[in-house]
Every structure is written in C-alpha cells, then in structure tokens.
Amino acid sequence: MSALDLYRDDGPLARAFAPLGRAAPPSVLVAVAVVPVLVLAAATGADGSRGLLAAAVAWVVLLGGASRGGALERDRFRWAVPPLLRAGEYTLILWMSAAGCADGPGAGFALLLALAFRHYDLVYRLRYRGRTPPAWLGAVAGGWDGRLVAIWVLLATDALPAGLYALAAALGVLFAAESAASWRSFDAGDRPALYDEGEGEAE
Amino acid sequence: MTTVSTAVLLATAPAQGGGVAADLAWEDTTLVSRLGDQLRALGIDDVQVLRRPASPDLAADLAAVARIARAAPAGVLVAQADVVTQREALAALLADPRIGTGVLSSLEGVGAPFAFGQRSDRGRVVSAASPFHAAGGPTERFLGLLKVSAADTAALAAAAEELAGLVAGGVPAAWEAELERKRQDWKGEAEAPARLAAAREDAVALLATAIVRRGAHVGNADIRELFWARPLSAAAARQAAADIGGHDEERVLLDSAVKATDGFFTTFFVSPYSKYIARWAARRGLTPNQVTVASLALGALAAAAFATGHRWGLIAGALLLQVAFTTDCVDGQLARYTRTFSALGAWLDSTFDRVKEYLVFAGLGIGAARMGAPVWALAGAALTLQTVRHAFDFSFAAAEHASMDVAPQAPLAEPSDGPAARSGAAGTPVPRPAASARVLRAWRRIDRLGGAVWVKRVVVFPIGERFAVISITAALFTPRVTFIVVLAWGGVGAVYGLAGRGLRALAR
C-alpha cells in the first residue's frame, strides 16, 4: 500500500464506494466532495439542520469514498487527496458538534485531539520505522467515513455532547495504547521508509 | 557505531612524480594508512586496499569491488584512499543511522572544480556525475566516499560488474567524449593534467553514478566547514597538513547541530543560545529523549496555566511555552551534536511537538470557557487548519518520493541522464516550457534575492513563529485573539503553500 493510500484512513463505507470513482481523477472528486462542505459549514455555523448535516455527510462519504477508485498515479494533484479528506472529516465533526448543543464544540475538539494523534501517528510511524499501524486498528476506528456516520447518529439521537466525549476518550485511549505497545515490539531492524528532515514547512 | 563492516580503499590515482597519491607522506605515515586508521577508529574492522599495480586497471578494480561487496557481512564503504579529511566528516557519513546508503558531499563547493557534481532532491541523490557521466543541474559535489548499506550491497556488486564489463578493453567512445568535455572545462587549471589522469582511475565516482542509476536511495552527508582534500603531489599533501589545523572540528560539530532549514524565529531567537544548552546537556550526559520528555512536561504545564483562565495564568503559560519550545530545539540539537539518533527519539520528537501544540490549544479553550467566553469552534478550526497543512506537507513529500522511485533511469553506457537519454530518443527537440513552468522559475528566482528566503519561511508560519504568536497574544490579550491570529496567519501560509505546490504540479 502506498503512503497516500495509508494517509486516507478509509473505513469500510469509503471502500465500498471506491468502484464508483474509477473513471475520475481522485483529487477532483475529493475537492468536489469537501469544498462545498467547508463553505456551508462556515456559512451556517451552529444553525446547520440535521437534514442538511445528513446530506453533507452522505455527500462527503459517497464522493470521498469514490475518490479511492481512480488512477492515483496519473493524478498530478494526488497529494491533495489525504489533506482534503482530513479537512472534510474534521470540519464535519466540528459542524455536527456545534449543531448538537451549546456545549458541543468542546466535545468535538476533544474528538479531534484523539483523531489528530491517529493521523500523525500514521505518518510518523511510516517515516521513522517504515511500519504501518495494524489493519484491525483502522477497522475498529471505523475510518473517517464510519466515524462521520456514527457521529451523525449520535446527533440524531440527542446523544451530544456525552456521546462525543465517550467516543473521544475511547479512541484516544485506543490510539495511544496501541502506539505505545507497538514500541514494545520494536525491532531495531525496522528501517525508515523515507527520510525527509523537518516538517517541510519551509517549502 | 557504524553499520559498515568492510571498507575498500582505492589507491589508484597516480601521484605526480610516480607511484600512487595514496602513498604520499603524511607526518610519519601515508595518506592511505591515515585514512585506514580513521576508519578503524570508527568501527570498520576490515579495511582492504586496491592498489596499482597489483590491481592492474579500472576493470580489475571494479571486479574486485564486486567480489568484496558480495562477501561483506554488512555494509560496505568504497572510498578514494588519498582523501584527507577530519574524523567528524567520516563520522557524519558512517555513524549517522539515518543515512543507509549515502555519499560524503559538499553543498558549498569544496573540491571545486574537480570533484564531480550531483543533483539531490529532498535529500536524495537523483543524478550523479563521474569522469564519464554528467549530472544536470548539480546541487552539490561528490567527495570520494560512498557508503552502501547491507540492503544495497547486492546492487553495488551488480553495478560494479556491469561497469567492469563496460570498461574492459577501453572505455566507450561516448564516455571519452564526456571526459573530453571536462578537460575543456578544466582548461587553465594548473592541476588539470594530474586530475584528468586521476579521473581515468576513478572507480568510486563510477560506482556512485551506477548505484544512483539503479534507483538506490542514496543520501547525503554534508562536509560543512570541515577540511577535505585529495592531494596528488607531495607539495599538495604538505599544504593539506598545514591547512587542516585551521578547521575546528568541535565548533563545526556544534554549529551543525542547528538544523539547516529552520524557521526565522528558531534560527535567530532560539538556536544561537540553545546549542550551548545542548552542549551543556551533552556534558551532563542527558539523552535527547530525556530532553524531549521534559519539553512535553513543560508544554503540559503551559497548557495547565492557560487553562486557569486568569491573567497571571495566561502570562505564566506564555513563558512556560517559550521554555518548552527552547527545550524542544535542544533535543534535536543534542541528538545531532552527540549523533545519538534513534527511531524512537525521532518519533517522540515529532509526535510530542504536535501533542504540545494541541494541548496548548485545549488549555486556551478551557481558559476561555472559564473566562465566560468559550471559543471551542475557533480552537477546533485552528487545530483543523494546522493538521490539514501538515497533511499537505506529508502527502506532497510522499508523492514526490513515489515519483522518484518510479523515475526511469538512463543506461550506464549513456553519459547523460537527461530526459532524452532516459527515453532513448536522443535528438528530440526540447519543448517550450509551459506558462506554469515559467511562473515557477520566476518564483524560484525570487528565492535567490537577499532575504527573500526568510520572508518565505516566515510566511509559511513554522513552529517557532506559531509558538511565539501564541505566547504573545495569550499573554497580552485573550485566547480568542490568539486563535484568530493563528487562523489568519496559518490561512495565508496555507494559500501560499498551495499556490507553490499547485504550480509545481502544473509544471510537470
């Protein structure tokens, strides 16, 4: 699996929609999926209705999932796919948490903390050890697509913000514990996959 | 200390006045025995020397390297036996675990004009010249030492065998034409005839070219301000002995502990003194990982202070965050200074940087809520923007490395590795560059203006600037102001970064 596939952090739903996007450039599909959602979220803020949020989640999961199916190596903007998926996921989480109740965004932020750990660990583990987190961890975490649907269900059942806090705590403990445990089985033979010092911030 | 078990030193370059340059006198010994002692001191037990006339010619040298590489129990170093350099230069190549296969090279023109050029992208050599090969758009010079990791020794042996086949019975005519081109370039240099004679025997540069063209991942160890020379006469060796004392290894080691491409705030406000803290920590026997953990603890304290929601808490948090950031710079400098890199250390350093930053966001969010003005949506937006910006960095790097892995390489018989040589269609006219390529070129030209590079590095809002902005705005104003400034500056940096990468992608 290539690094760009790994960084997507897809779950079962996104994988199921992959064949739909076979003919389209992945970066275009993801941009069409995510950019309107960023605009709508900024425009409506805490006033997004559950129906609108359901439509937004469905739109992003469908098109974002389909973007898995296209020919990545022929897409010259392929590097935009994982960051746009991340932007879509995090924005939808904040949007749904704000729509849930006044205390929602704090819970949304807590969940983002846990997810950010996962997403940086995907990169740093590959960069410094040439290893990827186990597939079961990605499956248990649901992928970005599964999480979005689960959070909408929490919203629709009036389970915010407690549901988000519970999800944040569960995922945070899971990600941190698995990552720490992975170092116990660290083998000095692990080799860095690529060596690129710094964050590339001064590109 | 090093993953190299075997060194092959090529004592084949002729000295002016007879014999080989490697046998020139150096104090009470010779160049080759001095280099051999330096390598043994760095942990290479098996040092073999290929010497004229016992190894009669280039083809025999290459065949011998192939045999030695196949038999080596671990990594192999192939080097010119007449290289005079300092221990720290050798250690930078041999004792840095981040360099698997790599070369000693110079970004600053050490070895010019005779040391062959090479071009690197993202720290990786993508094109390397030899006496008989050219490298387009060179970014540094190859200094005669090639380290090959155990994983690549089979590729080294295969490359050596292929080269031996090519040079058996005289070098190809196209190669002679390339060497003639170099002779023209060197016209007027007093040393040119001796350097041309040495170039004809240069198996090391040929092997570097060959292993790069085989697609191996070849890194760079920069010579920095350390001494390097390849004397080809007794007078040159005496000159080297006189000059080498002027290069202070300790000072170079300390200066180079500072990361070469840091941001403006880090470079001018933190590194000038943090490197002395790093040296102090080294003398106290502290490890980089201990410093990393201490930095995280300080960052968590800063977050806790921000979370109080009182003015004194915001001021204390701002100061603690700056102490945490200095400590964070120290760990990397300590690792570079003591050359104690580890996969765990690198992971901890990167991961804890992010944890610290987002804990501080959380602390500011809690503080704002306690002050009666919650800003969670802004905090979430700031976290999202920063994470997405990093994701762009990571994904762009991954895409670039993937392109390098599949880039077609020219055959070794071909001196040039330009696009025509790779496609085998020599003589095809070069198409006029697209508009995006011309804009990109103008963009890069701006880089060369004085100070422009620093403006760019400030615009992209690196970690030093981020932490400085957080400290100043939180201490003077409110968490809301902090998040708004972080979002605005980060947004500008995101647009700037996206524009540059978009141009590069379009210019392909």
Please give the pLDDT value at position B422.
Answer: 54
Pairs of CB atoms within 8 A across A/B: 173
Task: Count each helix (H run) and each strand (E run) in chain A, helices first.
Answer: 9, 0
For chain A, first and last CA: distance in Å?
A: 26
Burial of B324 (0-12, 13-18, 19+ CB in 10 A): buried
Please identify among residues 21-60 of chain A the ones whose CB lies closer than 8 Å to any CB of chain B.
45-46
Please give the pLDDT value at position B144.
Answer: 96
Contact B387 A200 (CB under 8 A): no
| Reported confidence tier of residue A191, pLDDT bands at 50, 70, 90 | low
Secondary structure class of B73 (helix, strand, coil): coil
Please give the pLDDT value at position A185.
Answer: 75
Q: E strands along B307-445, which residues?
A: none
Distance CA B404, CA B402 (A): 5
Answer for the pair B116, B143: CB distance below 8 angstroms, yes or no: no
Residue A168 half-sphere exposure toward CB, CA atoms < 13 A:
21
Q: What is the DSSP letter of B269?
A: I
Query: Is B508 near chain A, with CB under 8 Å?
Result: yes
pLDDT tens for A63-84 read 999 999 999 888 999 999 999 9
Residue in A with minimal Cα distance to B341: A128
Q: Residue B199: which H helix or E strand, with range?
A: helix B192-199
Query: Is B151 near chain A, with CB under 8 Å?
Result: yes
Q: Which residues contact B254 (CB under 8 A, 6 or more apart)?
A: B275, B278, B279, B337
Answer for the pair B35, B75: CB distance below 8 angstroms, yes or no: no
Answer for the pair B249, B229: CB distance below 8 angstroms, yes or no: no
Please give the pLDDT value at position B423.
Answer: 52
> Among A87-91, A100-104, A174-178, B362-366, which is the least confidently predicted range?
A100-104
Give the pair of three-digit tokens for residue B83: 């290289």
| CB neighbourhood size of B439 (10 A) | 15
With a cut of 70, list the residues of chain B below it in pLDDT.
1, 419-433, 447
Please identify among residues 26-65 of chain B the ones whose CB lies closer than 8 Å to any CB of chain A.
none
Please identify among residues 166-195 of chain B the ones whose CB lies closer than 8 Å to any CB of chain A.
none
Chain B residues touching A197 at Cβ < 8 A:
123, 259, 261
Distance CA B494, CA B508 (A): 21
Distance CA B130, CA B114 (A): 11
Res. A190: pLDDT tops 60: no
Please give the pLDDT value at position A187.
Answer: 61
**Residue whose pair of structure tokens reads 């060197």 in the numeric block:** B186
Please give the pLDDT value at position B17.
Answer: 87
Please give the pLDDT value at position A200.
Answer: 44
Q: Which residues contact B351 (CB under 8 A, 6 or more apart)?
A: A117, A120, A121, A124
Please give the pLDDT value at position A164.
Answer: 95
Contact A120 B398 (CB under 8 A): no
Distance CA B367, CA B314 (A): 8
Secondary structure class of B375 (helix, strand, coil): coil
| Residue B173 φ then ψ, to 5° | -60, -40
Please give the pLDDT value at position A189.
Answer: 53
| CB neighbourhood size of A140 (10 A) | 14
Distance CA A32, CA A49 (A): 21
Give me the percent of chain A exceeding a pLDDT of 70.
91
* Across A15-21, average pLDDT: 94
Please give the pLDDT value at position B431.
Answer: 55
Answer for the pair B505, B399: CB distance below 8 angstroms, yes or no: no
pLDDT tens for B250-302 read 888 888 788 777 888 888 898 888 989 999 999 999 999 999 999 999 999 99
Distance CA B124, CA B404 (A): 9
Tell me the residue type at B333: Q
Chain A residues touching B219 at Cβ < 8 A:
195
When the pLDDT of each residue in chain A is averaged and rounded to a whole number, the result is 90
Residue in B with minimal Cα distance to A194: B401
Residue B71 half-sphere exposure toward CB, CA atoms < 13 A:
11
Please give the pLDDT value at position B360.
Answer: 98
Q: E strands along B161-320, which residues?
A: 218-222, 228-229
Chain B residues touching A91 at Cβ < 8 A:
384
> Among A11-15, A91-95, B227-231, B448-452, which is the least confidently predicted range?
B448-452
Shortest CB distance from B462 goes to which of A45, A194, A202?
Answer: A202
pLDDT tens for A110-157 read 999 999 999 999 999 988 888 899 999 999 999 999 999 999 999 999
Largest CA distance in chain A: 53
Q: Which of B392, B361, B66 minimizes the C-alpha distance to B203?
A: B66
Residue in B with minimal Cα distance to A99: B377
| Residue B120 φ then ψ, to 5° | -120, 150
Answer for the pair B23, B30: CB distance below 8 angstroms, yes or no: yes
Shortest CB distance from B261 goes to which of A125, A191, A198?
Answer: A198
Secondary structure class of B128 (helix, strand, coil): strand
Answer for the pair B299, B353: CB distance below 8 angstroms, yes or no: no
Measured between alpha carbons, how far is residue B425 from residues B128, B210, B430 in Å?
Answer: 21, 21, 11
Distance CA A83, CA A90 (A): 11
Residue in B with minimal Cα distance to A5: B395
Contact A116 B100 (CB under 8 A): no
Prediction ipTM score = 0.95
